[in-house]
Structure 1
Amino acid sequence: MSSDTHTQNSRVNENYWSSQRIAIYALLSALALLLSFVEFPIFPAAPFLKYNPSGIIVLLAGFAYGPLAAFIVALISSAPHIFTNPIGGLIGLLCIAAFALPAATIYKKNRTKRGAFIGLIIGALAFILTAIVLNLLFTPLYTATSVSQVAAMIIPILLPFNALKAVINIVVTVLCYKPVTSLLKAFAQSRKNERRI
């Protein structure tokens, strides 16, 4: 690696982990963490299954700053739940990571409406599949439900519930992306101006 390349990489890393970027990650993580405690039923056939909107913030972080940002926000917002409910918290982390990481990676490579749409659809499919597989693997371990009983819930309950979650996340992310990124840019600019004073 040449010295010029090494210098460019160092600058990229410094910019990526700048105090401004860390502050934005902290802000998004705090918002995602707060929303992770807001849970409510969205599927009348299974009111015991709850939706929380924290995944929207993870998706917005990924679209704005890339897949690593999405993972950081997902991990921080999931950490308290992993400590208090290890299996449930881990399932939540893996599910939102399965959604946000492919979506953010595809959008990072193709920053167009088409790239965003493809990323969100592929992320949603990965999320739905991951949620179903993890339910089959883990639900029998911490409930009195057998694997066959969980399998019987896939078509009438798990598939439509997770599809509905994915649709809500996609719609809200699309509606909020531009306003949120504008606010983040304003926040970053204000921090830059503060450092100049």
Structure 2
Amino acid sequence: MMNLGKLFEQVKDNVIFILISIIIMVAVYAIAKLSEKLIEKKTGVKFNQAKTRINRMTVIAMLSALAFILMFFEFPIPFVPDFYKIDASEIPVLIGAFMFGPAAGVVIEGVKVLLHLVIKGTTTVFVGDFANFILGCFYVVPAATIYLFKKTKKSAIIGMIVGTAVLVIAGCLLNAFYLLPKYAELYGIPMEYLIAAGTAVNSNITNVFSFVALAVAPFNILKGTLVAIATGVLYKYVSKIIKN
């Protein structure tokens, strides 16, 4: 009975997390749409013209599929515990957001995560998957919004720097106050075990605060930087192919 009670509590907690995540997803999409309205008002650019809507949806679907495929190619980073792995799936998301607006980036991010859930399943009762979506949007939406207000190389760089900063702050807060405690609960291990995994790669990691400061933050800085560099190199080439 105790096991059933514990299972029920876990399911209840994760249902609450999923509901909160859905609310956040809707809020993020609404913010992205608001950003597009502001960009349209300032620049006159229309993100959803009828004559380009089908082409736009087709390219978004292609970028979503590519982002999903790239999720399978994960690489460990030497200075963080091996359960943090980096992938290139945010590159198609950011390219799509730069081309079609922040809301398109949110859609690509959502489809990517949904496909991953359907094909691969989840080992974290959806917790890691929704966190992946939320953090991806926190990176892509501000980056694309800043770039599209004034489509220059400088604004793209500023946008990706701001996006990386938001990703780092959100990643640290989410890991410290939810993800690390939740993973410890899901896998039935003490928090000290997760901290010890950080200590094994960096002796200065001794508690949750030092874990997020010395492992999570550098990981997200590296991820944001690599995605920014790759997008900077590929964006003009990819957008030219798609437009042609």
Q: Which TM-score tier does this pair reach, normalised by the shorter chain?
A: 0.7 to 0.9
SS, match of residue 53 in structure 1: coil
Query: Is 1:159 aligned to 2:217, yes or no?
Result: yes
Preserved CA contact (<8 Å) 1:43 1:161: no
Greater Cα offset, 71-80 or 146-155: 146-155
Rounded Cα–Cα distance in structure 2 between residues aligned with 1:100 and 1:20? 21
Rounded Cα–Cα distance in structure 2 between residues aligned with 1:156 and 1:11? 40
Rounded Cα–Cα distance in structure 1 between residues aligned with 2:47 and 2:149? 21
Alignment match of 1:58 (pick from 93, 117, 140): 93
Distance 1:56 1:82, change over 3 A: same
Rounded Cα–Cα distance in structure 2 between residues aligned with 1:31 and 1:154? 30
Rounded Cα–Cα distance in structure 2 between residues aligned with 1:168 and 1:52? 10
Residue 14 of structure 1 corresponds to: 50
Distance 1:89 1:81, change over 3 A: farther
Give the TM-score taking structure 2 as reference length. 0.66
Preserved CA contact (<8 Å) 1:78 1:92: yes
Residue 233 of structure 2 corresponds to: 175
Distance 1:81 1:88, change over 3 A: farther
Preserved CA contact (<8 Å) 1:81 1:88: no
Percent of aligned pairs with the same amino acid: 30
Rounded Cα–Cα distance in structure 2 between residues aligned with 1:45 and 1:76? 28
Aligned-pair CA distance for 1:12: 4.8
Rounded Cα–Cα distance in structure 1 between residues aligned with 2:109 and 2:240? 21
Rounded Cα–Cα distance in structure 2 between residues aligned with 1:63 and 1:20? 16
Preserved CA contact (<8 Å) 2:175 2:212: no
Letter in 1 for 2:210: A
Q: Deviations over 1:63-94 (max 9, x none)?
A: 11110111110000011445633110011111
Q: Deviations over 1:37-74 (max 9, x none)?
A: 21111334433310111011111111111101111100
Residue 36 of structure 1 corresponds to: 71
Query: Is 1:88 aligned to 2:146, yes or no?
Result: no
Give the TM-score taking structure 1 as reference length. 0.81
Alignment match of 2:137 (pick from 80, 86, 97): 97
Rounded Cα–Cα distance in structure 2 between residues aligned with 1:149 and 1:11? 46
Preserved CA contact (<8 Å) 2:79 2:215: no
Distance 1:96 1:45, change over 3 A: closer
> Structure 1: which 5+ runs fail to align?
1-9, 187-197
The count of aligned residue pairs is: 176
Query: Is 1:140 aligned to 2:175, yes or no?
Result: no
Rounded Cα–Cα distance in structure 1 between residues aligned with 2:143 and 2:47? 26
Residue 3 of structure 2 corresponds to: none
Aligned-pair CA distance for 1:99: 0.5
Q: Deviations over 1:128-160 (max 9, x none)?
A: 111111111222112232698432312221111
Preserved CA contact (<8 Å) 2:138 2:167: yes
Greater Cα offset, 126-135 or 76-85: 76-85
Distance 1:134 1:12, change over 3 A: closer
Root-mean-square deviation (CA, aligned residues, Å) is: 2.2
1:121-136 map, 5 Å? 121-136=161-176
Aligned-pair CA distance for 1:19: 1.6
